[in-house]
Structure formats: structure tokens, C-alpha cells
Amino acid sequence: MFDPLALAVALPLLGALLVTMLPGWSRALGMLTALATTVVALWLTVTVWGGASLHSDLGGWGVPLGIALRADGLAAALVAMANLVALAISINATGYFGTAESSRKFWPLWLLLWSALNGLFLAADLFNLYVMLELLGLSAAALGALTGTREAAEANLRYLLVGLLGSMTYLLGVALLYTAYGTLDLEQVAASLTPGPVALSALALMVGGLLLKAALFPLHFWLPPAHANAPAPVSAALSALVVKAAIYLVLRLWLDLFDGIVTEAAGMLLGLLGAGAVLWGSWRALRAERLKLLAAYSTVAQVGYLFMFLPLLTATPDGPERERLLTALVLLALTHGFAKAGFFLAAGLVQKSTGHDRIRELGGAAQSLPAATFTLGLAGVALIGLPPSGTFFAKWVLVGQAIALGQWWWALVVMAGTLLAAAYVFRVLARAFNREPTPKCFLTDPRTEIPALLLAALSALGVGLAAQPIAVLLGAGD
Amino acid sequence: MSHEILITQLLYGGAGLLFFLLGVWSFISHEPLWRKLIALNIMGAGVFHVLVAVAYRGLDAPPDPVPHALVLTGIVVAVSATALALAFGRRLDREDSERTPEVQGVDDREDGTHV
């Protein structure tokens, strides 16, 4: 009955049904569900952190017909981040949407997305991963179009179609694996996987499909318009969480399933695409005219860093170096989740109070919205990778290991990307500070500002300083 | 007997792969929404073909239930996704026709979509 794995997926699903049936109560019911789900997710994380990896077969049905859920360190770390960010987004959304009609449309889809997100992090078999991936894509596309503008509808239709192409490709890979090995359970397939044309085709199809969803350069074309045109809380969820889910799945496949058959050449290819993403995404962020578009291109760049870890992980033999590299990768993903969510929520506040988000005309934003500007600054610290943010630690490990392996070119890309990130963050901050009378109060709209501020603070200060406990969590359950 | 099963599976599975590739080609090379959606559904049908072929264990043996369950779930997902995409498409079309109410008679684009 009190199984945190099942509850983490079932609670938001139940909430989604309730807010659909009782739209008048959607805000209260939605917040209640958000709180309960977060508590369950943190309980789950603490349990795994204590050294127990969790596993449960829903309804007592085992493999192969049953639906199994499991949580190891990697899953628990991402669940904790995703649920904290989702809670902050929920609080922000109560202020952002108010009691408007769009609030009633927001909650069912948002809770459905939350359920799919937890399900994806916790699923233990390849087909459930596919179902969760589709649920996530459908609810994300519908949420992204909530503003109702033509641009949003166009961008999200493209996002939906690209996502479907990606998941169909993934599904064909799953079908190939089932043909060859007769099971869908991640651990069972991993145990019986042998190098050969079937495994290689499945790897190419599954990872290729997911790269579309993870928006890895040059497959990122759908991301900036979709993320920049959504309502701010939705943009935050899309950039911080939904993209991460696809990356998590790539990582899961790369490290757990195809560990024996991934070649250094394949890792190198993904790393090079990642490097392209860092340079191109950061450059386009620097040139962006709108705050939310800047944040979206910055996501393209940050996704690139995560993929630059793959060639190094493949080239590093098992041992403390590899574990440190993996910890750094997860730290980067967590930090980016907090930072980008905070950034988007603050950008939403700027857009709401000034009526636009054109960077050129931000003058005086720091004076009229101190908390939002401070949030942008703090999130900027994490995006650039200044100490003590988790990004700093992650980039440090990335550069160190690249040089240790003799692959020094990754270090150059990291430095160029960091410089570009500093440039685009300071470009916003420079515009935000203008000579105008200093305001009396720090907070203008606490309910929308405080969640954003906390997320940014967590990204700039919290995750980096918590590197040690996170490393313990990742080591747990192995 | 097992030889016959293998040939049946290869024929069906191979046709499924062919469907999938045709779908990918059509999805990439055609612009109109409805052609893309049909292409996606053909890709899906290809994957389902492969799964049904895997499930086949001869005429006198019951098929493997797991791939059948996958195909059923997959069909539900594909229908929902198609419905959502069509809803998006209708929304865009309606805005197009509201935006240019004076332009009549040129609604039928050369690709055959009707606004």
C-alpha cells in the first residue's frame, strides 16, 4: 500500500483525474497533490540514499507481463531534483495563472506530465519507458500551447511531430531487442546482450530517437520556439525537466543496457555533437533578442555539455575516475534543472510586469523587480559555472578527465562555452541595471518570486556544496 | 514446421521494416500535416508488424502474449497522438481562415490540403 515507487507515479495521476473532475477546485487540489508527491519523492530519495535500491512489481505481477518500477541512485537523484523543481513550478503557477481560465487547463496536464516524469525515471522495462515517454511528450506539447498564440501552436505541433518520430524510432529498437532476447526488463536484456548487428541497430535506433527528444544539436531546431513561446511555468518545466528525461534515458541505455557494446567512436560522435551544441547554443543565446529565447538556446548548450561526458565515460575504465565523472555529469544535470527553472520563472515575472521580454528594453528591471533580477543573476552563476555551483565542479572534472585522457579538445570547447555563457548572462544583467530610483522592497510578488529565487539559490549554492551526499546517493544501490 | 514459422516471421517482420522506412521517408519529405501524420501511423504499423511477427509461434501454438499487449498499447498511444496533432492542425487552420476571410476560392492549396 505505502510503496513510494508506486505512489510517486500514482499520486499525480490521481490528482490529474481529480482536477479534471472538479475544475473549480483545481488550484487547491493541484497544490495538495504537488505537496504530497514531493514528500513521497523525497522519502523515496532518502530511502535510496540510505543504501537500499528499491524495486516493486505492481499488483504482484512479475516480469514479463507485470509493470515493474525500481529506483537506484541515478533515478533517485533525478526524481528528487524533478520533484523539487515541479513543486516550485506549481507554487509559481498558482500566482502566474491566478484564477484565470487557463489555470483550469494547466493543472490536469501539468499533473499528468509530472506523473509521466516520475514514471519515466522509475520504470524498469523498455516498453514502460516508451509509454511514459509518449505521455510526457503529449502532455508537454499540450501544455506548451496553453498561451493560445499561433506561434505557440505551430511550435508545439512541430515539437509533437518530432517527438513522435523520435519515440517511434525508439519503439522499433525495443521491438528488435524483444525479437532477439525475448524480454523487456532492463536488467535481463543487459545481462543477455551480445555484440552483433541486432544490438547495434537497436542502440542506433533507440539512442537516435531519443536524441531528437533530447534536442541534441543539430536536432535541436524544434526546442527554442517551443520553449520560448510557452507560459513561463511551462517553459521552466520543459527546459529543466522534460528534456532531462530524454537525456536520462540515453544515459540509462548507454551505461546500463549497452555498456558492453558502445564503442569509443559512437561516444566520440555524440561528444562532437555535444560540442557543436555548446558552441552553437551559446552563440545563439548571446544573439537572442528575447529573454526566454536566450534561456531556450542556453538549454541547447547545456544539453551539449551533458553529451560531452559520454566519450570520456566510454574511454574511462571502471573505477573511481569513472564514478567521479558520472557524479559530475549528474551534478551538471541537477544544477541545470534548478537553474533553468529559476531563470524561466524569473523571466516570466519580468515578462508579466513589463509586458515584454526584449532584452534590449530591460532597462530598470533590476530596480523595479529586484528579486527577479537577483534570481537571473544567481541562475546565471550556475549557467556560467562559477564556484560554488554544481556546474563549476562538473566542468572541473570534465576538463580534468579530458586532459588526463589526452582528449584536450573538449577542454577548449568547455572554456569557449563558459566564456559565451558569461557573455550572455552579463548581457542580460547589464541591461537590467539602469540608473533609476532604488525601490523600497525586495519582493514585489512573493508567490511567483520566492520559488524562482529558491531554485536559483539552490543551483548556485546548494547543489555544488551537496556534491558529497549526491555522490553517496549515486553509489547507493549498486 | 519451425522452418515455416521462421519464413513467416521473416516475411512479416521484413514487411514491417519496409513499412517503417517508407514512413520515415514520407515523414521527412512531405510538408503537409496530414501526410506527416499518415507517415507516422505507417511507421507505427511497421513496428507493430515486427512485434506481431515475433509473437507468431505457428498455427497450432498460442502466440506470445507480450508483443500483443505491446501492440495494443502502442495503438492506443498512436491514436491519442494523432488526435492531438489533428487538434493542433484544426486550430491553425481555423486561425488561418479567420485571418484572411476575404480570400476565398484559393483555399485549396496545391498539396491538396483544405483550409
Whether A172 sits inside 8 A of B81 (CB atoms) is no
CATH number at residue B48: 1.10.287.3510
Query: Residue A22 gets which letter from DSSP?
Result: -
Residue B107's pLDDT is: 44
B110: pLDDT strictly greater than 70: no
- Cell numbers 526584449 correspond to A358
Residues of chain B neighbouring A156 (CB-CB closer than 8 A): 88
Residue A279, in any domain of the structure:
yes
Residue A130's pLDDT is: 92
A206: pLDDT strictly greater than 90: yes
Q: Find, among B44, B50, B42, B46, the residue nearest to B10 by Cα.
A: B50
Q: Is A247 exposed, middle or buried (0-12, 13-18, 19+ CB in 10 A)?
A: buried
Stretch A458-462: mean pLDDT, rounded?
77
pTM of structure: 0.88
* B69 interfacial to chain A (CB closer than 8 Å): yes
Q: How far apart are the first and last CA of chain A?
A: 26
**SS3 assignment, position A169:** helix
B102: pLDDT strictly greater than 70: no
Which tens digit of pLDDT belongs to each residue from A55-103? 888 777 776 667 888 888 899 999 999 999 999 999 998 888 877 777 8
3-state helix, strand, coil in chain A (%, to 5): 80, 5, 20
B69-98 CB burial, b ≥16 within 10 A, e <16: ebbeebeebbeebbebbeebbebbeeeeee
Which tens digit of pLDDT belongs to each residue from A280-332? 999 999 888 888 899 999 999 999 999 999 999 888 888 888 888 999 999 99
Residue B108, in any domain of the structure:
no
Q: What is the ipTM of this complex?
A: 0.85
Q: Give whole-number Cα distances, A179 to A163, A406, A438, B47, in Å.
A: 24, 40, 67, 12
Q: Could you say which of A65, A130, A164 has the minimum Cβ distance to residue B81?
A: A164
How many Cβ atoms from other residues are within 10 Å of residue A289's Cβ? 11
* B24 interfacial to chain A (CB closer than 8 Å): yes
A120-144 CB burial, b ≥16 within 10 A, e <16: bbbbbbbbbbbbbbbbbbbbbbbbb
Average pLDDT of chain A to the nearest whole number: 87
**SS3 assignment, position A309:** helix
Residue A130, in any domain of the structure:
no
Tally of structural domains, chain A: 1
Residue ranges making up the domain that contains B81: 2-99
Residue ranges making up the domain that contains A337: 263-478
Query: Residue A462 gets which letter from DSSP?
Result: I
pLDDT category of residue A345 using cuts at 50, 70 and 90: very high
> What is the C-alpha separation between A351 and A341, in angstroms, rounded?
15
Residue A64's pLDDT is: 66
Chain B contact probe: residue of A63, A127, A167, A168 with most B CBs at under 10 A: A168
Residues 6+ apart with CB under 8 A from A209: A165, A166, A167, A168, A169, A170, A171, A173
Which tens digit of pLDDT belongs to each residue from A127-138? 889 999 999 999
Residue A346, in any domain of the structure:
yes
Tally of structural domains, chain B: 1
pLDDT category of residue B101 using cuts at 50, 70 and 90: low
Q: How far apart are the first and last CA of chain B?
A: 55
